[in-house]
């Protein structure tokens, strides 16, 4: 049996690869900085995104964390894809940290920090003085 006696063999086949999504990305909040009035402030709508597929994303849930509970309210909007964040007590003008825990439909969560610039104004017409803005790093 010599080298010349070897017959090359070839073949054809089909390989099917099926990729499945896993829940490896927690939901995140798109907005990181908001401005609100300290009197009769308007609710802020925060967008939530998740890099996972539909089976591991919305509907989301939200919970305020730590000291954020005493000054803010947070709830999901009707489609459960956005957060409605509202200042519930009058605060002195200045910058505040709001910590929100957002969970996907499988319970995977992440804490997100929002910087809230609270200005001395009323309602939806957010007017911040230069003094309030100067101490706020954007």
State pTM to two decimals.
0.80
Report if residue 9 sits inside a domain: no
Q: What is the mean pLDDT of residues 98-108?
A: 97
pLDDT of 138 higher than 50: no
The model's pLDDT over 117-134, given as tens digits with 9 standing for 90+, comes to 999 999 999 998 865 444
What pLDDT is stored for residue 4 in this prediction?
Answer: 61
Distance CA 83, CA 62 (A): 7
**DSSP label at 56?**
G
The domain spanning residue 53 has which CATH number?
2.60.40.60
Beginning with the edge strand found earlier in the chain, give each strand of the sheet holding 94-103 in spatial order: 33-39, 109-122, 94-103, 61-64
What pLDDT is stored for residue 5 in this prediction?
Answer: 64
Distance CA 57, CA 108 (A): 9
Report if residue 40 sits inside a domain: yes
Cβ contact 87:120 at 8 Å? no
Please give the residue range of the domain that contains residue 44: 28-134
What pLDDT is stored for residue 131 in this prediction?
Answer: 55
DSSP labels for 85-110?
Answer: EEE-S---SEEEEEEEEEE-TTS-EE
Distance CA 18, CA 46 (A): 35
Report if residue 124 sits inside a domain: yes
Report if residue 73 sits inside a domain: yes
Report if residue 1 sits inside a domain: no
What pLDDT is stored for residue 11 in this prediction?
Answer: 84
Q: Is the torsion defined by CA of 126, 132, 134, 136 positive or negative?
A: negative
The model's pLDDT over 1-57, given as tens digits with 9 standing for 90+, comes to 556 667 777 888 999 998 888 999 999 999 999 999 999 999 999 999 999 988 999
pLDDT of 135 higher than 60: no
Number of domains in the chain: 1
- 62 or 5, which is more confident: 62
Tokens describing residue 29: 């909040």
Q: Is the torsion defined by CA of 46, 52, 58, 63 positive or negative?
A: negative
Report if residue 48 sits inside a domain: yes
Cβ contact 71:91 at 8 Å? yes
Report if residue 19 sits inside a domain: no
């Amino acid at each position: 049996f010599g080298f010349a006696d070897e017959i090359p063999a070839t073949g054809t086949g089909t390989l099917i690869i099926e990729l499945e999504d896993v829940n490896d990305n927690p939901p995140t909040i798109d907005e990181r900085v908001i401005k609100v009035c300290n009197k009769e402030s308007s609710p802020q709508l925060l967008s939530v995104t998740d890099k996972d597929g539909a089976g591991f994303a919305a509907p989301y849930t939200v919970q305020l964390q730590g000291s954020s509970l005493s000054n803010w309210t947070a709830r999901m909007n009707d489609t459960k894809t956005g957060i409605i964040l509202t200042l519930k007590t009058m605060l002195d003008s200045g910058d505040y940290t709001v910590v929100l825990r957002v969970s996907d439909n499988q319970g995977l969560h992440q804490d997100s920090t929002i910087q809230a610039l609270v200005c001395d104004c009323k309602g939806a017409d957010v007017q911040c003085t230069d003094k309030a803005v100067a101490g706020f790093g954007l």
